[in-house]
Amino acid sequence: MSLLETFAEIEHHFRPLLAYLPADAAAKISSYGKTQFIKKYVKDEPDEKVLFSKDQSVKLWDIRFNAPIFNAAGMFKLGKGYNVVAKQGAGAFLAGTTTYRSREGNTKHKVTHPFLPFPRSQAAINWMGLPNPGHEVVAKRLSNIERVKNCPIGISLSYDSVDTKEIALKNMVLGLEIYNKAGVDFVEINESCPNVEGKSVSNNLEPELVERLEYISKNFISKLNRNLPVIVKLSNDTNINQVDDLVRILTDLNYSGVNFGNTSTRYKELEKSIRRKEQHHYYYFYNTFGGGLSGEPLKQTSLELASKAIQSVEKISPTNEFHVIRTGGISSISDIEDSIRNGIKLNQWYTGYFKNFGTNGHKLYKKLLD
């Protein structure tokens, strides 16, 4: 066991004590600690690649994923850490989310990249604001990675709402072209981040969303000369009654899949999911920073949305290969089994990942899937 695994295990046991601290102090400690942990984590490679007792791989879009689950966007914003998760046995490595220009991310009340976990509730909230060094820096880093078998490389990217619409769309296509040249295996367009200015995340067929999807389809997807799946990540707050129309639009525009979803801003509705001991931290964070809630409270919504999308795909029977990814509240084998029963073949995790790393270290995928 590495020093980082030992630290994570100890921290996992003591993390519930955060609830006894003043909320502002807990936010400062957690935000700083998370940043420092990730810096060390991406260098903490396991000695050997994990081998499962049976084949857990999934083949979609003619790409072999080592397992039916891998990290969600936001974990590896700098594009570092591939060898860590590849040796852990992850289904893939997803870098980003990145933007055309570098972003420092959010800072408020002297807290940089605000983040606060609610371990008793198996949840977390963040208002990080897409900190990243930009497409070109991360693309160059990804292009130099030596692949591990069945661990493809994906990239999550977003348009930058600080630009005018025309410039933002052009830069989005430029970013896609940059990553295409870098040789990534799949692309995820993030239409669901609640932590950047001027970004709508309801995904309820607003004209701006459809316009962006059409622009990317016309100016990038239609011009691809290789197999590069382009997936659209939509919010866990999407109106389920709009899923049929969203899937129809995506399939008509030749996208390769949809991911439901990301964090949630349904603060009042999800309040009941937060344990009473942690609710004062919860109120403080969303009233002070805003941000998106992740983890256990999103489990049912992510399953309902992704399952509805599967049904929509079956009704449409698109000519192109189109798959549904589920993200939100996944932390156990029963969650993956729920996905499989509903036709969902790929899952992503973030809050659940770190919960499992705290108990199982680098063996978390093997413990989960074996």
- CB atoms near residue 255 (< 10 Å): 23
What domain range includes position 280?
3-369
Contact by Cβ (8 Å): 230, 220: yes
Number of domains in the chain: 1
pLDDT at 320: 93
- CB atoms near residue 356 (< 10 Å): 19
Q: What is the share, in percent, of the chain residues with pLDDT greater than 90? A: 92
Q: Which two tokens stand for residue 284?
A: 């403080």
The CATH number linked to 112 is 3.20.20.70
125 three-class SS: strand
- pLDDT, one tens digit per residue, over 234-273 is 999 999 999 999 999 999 999 999 999 889 999 999 999 9
pLDDT at 196: 54
Q: Which of 201, 195, 237 is nearest to 99 (CA)?
A: 195
* Separation between Cα atoms, residue 343 and residue 340, nearest integer Å: 5
**Which distant-in-sequence residues (6+ apart) come within 8 Å of 133 by Cβ?**
78, 98, 102
* Separation between Cα atoms, residue 61 and residue 321, nearest integer Å: 7
**Which distant-in-sequence residues (6+ apart) come within 8 Å of 106 by Cβ?**
112, 113, 114, 127, 128, 129, 131, 195, 289
Backbone phi, psi, residue 359, to 5°: -100, -30
Average pLDDT, whole number, for the chain? 95
As a whole number of Å, the CA-based R_g of the chain is: 19
Contact by Cβ (8 Å): 331, 355: yes
Q: Is the pLDDT of residue 8 over 60?
A: yes
* Separation between Cα atoms, residue 277 and residue 103, nearest integer Å: 35
Q: Which residue has the tokens 């990814």?
A: 325
* Separation between Cα atoms, residue 44 and residue 39, nearest integer Å: 9
pLDDT at 41: 97
Contact by Cβ (8 Å): 263, 194: yes
- pLDDT, one tens digit per residue, over 75-120 is 999 999 999 999 999 999 999 999 999 999 999 999 999 999 999 9
- Tell me the pTM: 0.95
Q: Which two tokens stand for residue 153?
A: 């490389």
Backbone phi, psi, residue 31, to 5°: -65, -45
- pLDDT, one tens digit per residue, over 173-218 is 999 999 999 999 999 999 987 655 544 444 556 889 999 999 999 9
pLDDT at 225: 94
Confidence class of residue 161 from pLDDT cuts 50, 70 and 90?
A: confident
Backbone phi, psi, residue 172, to 5°: -65, -45
- pLDDT, one tens digit per residue, over 213-242 is 999 999 999 999 999 999 999 999 999 999
Q: Which residue has the tokens 């955060």?
A: 18
pLDDT at 201: 47
Which residues is 190 bridged to in the sheet?
233
Contact by Cβ (8 Å): 29, 19: no
**H-state helical runs in the chain:** 3-14, 23-41, 82-88, 135-143, 165-182, 207-219, 243-252, 267-270, 279-288, 299-316, 333-341, 351-360, 364-369
pLDDT at 203: 52
* Separation between Cα atoms, residue 348 and residue 330, nearest integer Å: 7
Q: Which two tokens stand for residue 225?
A: 């000369």
Amino acid letter, residue 296: E
- pLDDT, one tens digit per residue, over 115-135 is 999 999 999 999 999 999 999
Which residues is 155 bridged to in the sheet?
95, 187
